[in-house]
Amino acid sequence: MGIITKNTTFNRTEFMFLMPTQIKYGPGKVASLATDLQIEDDLANRNSVMVFTDRAIAAAGLVDQLKTGLEGSQYEIKAVFDEIPSDSDVEVVGRAAAIANEVEADLFVAIGGGSVMDTAKATSVLAAHGGDIKDYEGIFLVPGPCIPIVAIPTTCGTGSEVSAVLVVKDNTEHRKVSLASQYIFPRLAVLDPNIIATLPAKLIAYTGFDALTHAIEAYVSMEQEPIAEALSLRAVEMIADNLETAVNDPSHEDARAKLQIAATMAGMAFTNVGVGAVHAIAHSIGAIYGIHHGLSNAIILPYVMEYNLDSCPERFASLARALGVFDKNKSDEELGRAAIDRVQDLKRAVNIPKTFAGLIESINESGIDTLTEMSMNDLSLPFNPRNTEAEEMKQLITTVIGVK
């Protein structure tokens, strides 16, 4: 009998797992990018490159590493779009698309976090098909192939480098615009541990918890299946084993590399089976208050775990074992509560606040109601293992906000 999952019943009659993104891992991969591009038949002749990044990444010299990686090759950088904010929006995407069309870019390279990669995805849709990104909002509304993307994550959490999902903000309507399509999978994901060597400890904590949330929500998803299950459980184990070390010891290359790989594994899982209520709430809070997505997920995660526990205690017991909690004398529910305690302990270890108190200074009843409505309408919520009523969502949000 399996030690982790206890050979629980397989109750799916059918499922599909899709992962068209090719993953290339290795120290120095960015500095030798042209070599990896040239051996791919469909990328070898796409020579007009547009780079997507943000000013902090450019200032850190990471774009220079990319330029070195393409120097002397047939790949010509026609534009560097570094105006991407930490929470990208539809207006930024529109400007990027105009530039992409002007320079006739036929290959995008995104080097950055989730906001950068999602901006590149949204731009690839508009450059190929025109219109406004909100025209494609929802699931499977992109009509066909887009400009291929090489995604180079500079954090260890987003999973966007292997996902069929993008999220950008609409600052006018104060909401997140989400869409999912098989046509926005990046063509290549380049995992180079050298790129995250100087990532600040705070961002290691935030993005590492983002990946942990992806893995946990994927594991308990209504759409869970064995392939995503294996990826999410191993990702949980790797993050639990390495996050605290990676935050507290920036020189620990092994811990950071494992986080980077775990984030991609979690991304592969959630893009196939979805996330849940944590993301539904985090998207809503991020849209209105601009709080870092990884930090939001980290704060919300244990509260939603507790809310969902009774719906699938055997899955939370498996998560407990992946998190390092083994006790043959405990019931599934007791082990599930131990998993929640382990996540709370990890939050404290990497200085994640318990609630949003201090981050959101004041919010009235109307504000809570707005967040509730947005969360109930989020594309992530249907994958949550517990059917969520509006009043339950409101109570969850009131708890995590922590503001009296």
Render pLDDT for 212-270 as a digit per residue (tens, 0 to 9): 999 999 999 999 999 999 999 999 999 999 999 999 998 899 999 999 999 999 999 99
Instruction: At 203, list the tokens.
Output: 């961002």
Instruction: At 257, list the tokens.
Output: 């590399």
Neighbours of 235 (CB within 10 A): 31
Task: Give per-residue pLDDT as tens, 43-58.
Answer: 999 999 999 999 999 9
Eight-state DSSP code of residue 150: E
pTM: 0.94
- Residue 66 neighbours by CB under 8 Å, 6+ apart: 30, 33, 51, 109, 111, 152
Q: Are residues 177 and 219 in the same domain?
A: no
Q: Quick one: pLDDT at residue 341?
A: 97
d(CA 16, CA 187): 19
Instruction: At 6, list the tokens.
Output: 């206890």
d(CA 141, CA 297): 27
Q: Are residues 166 and 287 in the same domain?
A: no
Residue 145 belongs to a domain: yes
Kindly report the CATH number assigned to the domain that includes residue 88.
Answer: 3.40.50.1970
- As a whole number, the mean pLDDT across the chain is 95
Using CB atoms within 10 Å of the CB of residue 106, give its burial: 0 to 12 exposed, 13 to 18 middle, 19+ buried.
middle
Domain closes at, from 134, 164, 196 = 196
Give residue 71's domain range: 22-196
Do the beta carbons of residue 144 and residue 130 sit within 8 Å? no
Domain closes at, from 154, 181, 196 = 196
